[in-house]
Amino acid sequence: MDEKKIAFVFPGQGAQYVGMGKDVYESFRDVRLLFEKAEGVLKFDLKKLCFEGPAEKLKLTSLAQPAILVVSLSVLEALKILAPDISPQVVAGLSLGEYSALAFAGAIGFEDAVRLVYKRGEFMEEASRLHPGGMVSLLGLNYETVENICRESRAEIANLNCPGQIVISGTQEALEKAVNLAKEKGVKKAIYLEVSGPFHSSLMSSASKKLLVELNRIEIRTPRVPVVSNVTAYFENTPREIHTNLVNQINHPTRWEESVRFMVDGGVTLFLEIGPGKVLSGLIRRIDSSLEVYNIETVQDIKVFLEKIGMA
Residue 201 and residue 169 in contact, taking contact as beta carbons nearer than 8 Å = yes
Q: Which candidate, 138, 172, 166, places its Cα nearest to that of 153?
A: 172
Residue 8 and residue 91 in contact, taking contact as beta carbons nearer than 8 Å = yes
- Strands 134-139 and 189-192, by their bridges, are antiparallel
Is the pTM above the cut of 0.95?
A: yes
Res 2: pLDDT: 54
Q: Which residue ranges in the chain fall short of pLDDT 50?
A: none
Which residue in the list 62, 74, 95, 169 is annotated as catalytic? 95
Residue 143 and residue 253 in contact, taking contact as beta carbons nearer than 8 Å = no
Res 37: pLDDT: 98
Write the DSSP symbol of residue 224.
S
Coil, helix or strand at residue 15: coil
DSSP E strand stretches across the chain: 5-10, 90-93, 134-139, 156-162, 165-170, 189-192, 268-274, 292-296
CA dist 60 and 14 (Å) reads 10
Q: Within a 13 Å sphere around the CA of 262, how many CA atoms are in the beta-carbon half?
A: 19
Residue 70 and residue 46 in contact, taking contact as beta carbons nearer than 8 Å = yes
CA dist 175 and 167 (Å) reads 11
Q: What's the CATH superfamily of 133-192?
A: Malonyl-CoA ACP transacylase, ACP-binding (3.30.70.250)
CA dist 146 and 160 (Å) reads 11
For 77, counting Cβ atoms within 10 Å of its Cβ (0-12 exposed, 13-18 middle, 19+ buried), the class is: middle
SS3 of 238-282: the string is: CHHHHHHHHHHHCCCCECHHHHHHHHHHCCEEEEEEECCCCHHHH
Q: Enumerate the domain spans of the chain.
A: 5-129+202-308, 133-192
Q: Which helix (H) or strand (E) holds 54?
A: none
CA distance between the termini of the chain: 12
Which residue in the list 72, 200, 208, 259 is annotated as catalytic? 200
Same CATH fold assignment for domains 5-129+202-308 and 133-192: no
Is 95 in the active site?
Answer: yes
Contacts of 270 (CB under 8 A, 6+ apart): 4, 5, 6, 7, 291, 292, 293, 294
Is 169 in the active site?
Answer: no
5-129+202-308: CATH number: 3.40.366.10
Q: Backbone dihedral region of 135: left (phi > 0), alpha (psi from -120 to 50 degrees) or beta?
A: beta
Q: Provide the mean pLDDT of the chain.
A: 97
AA letter at 164? G
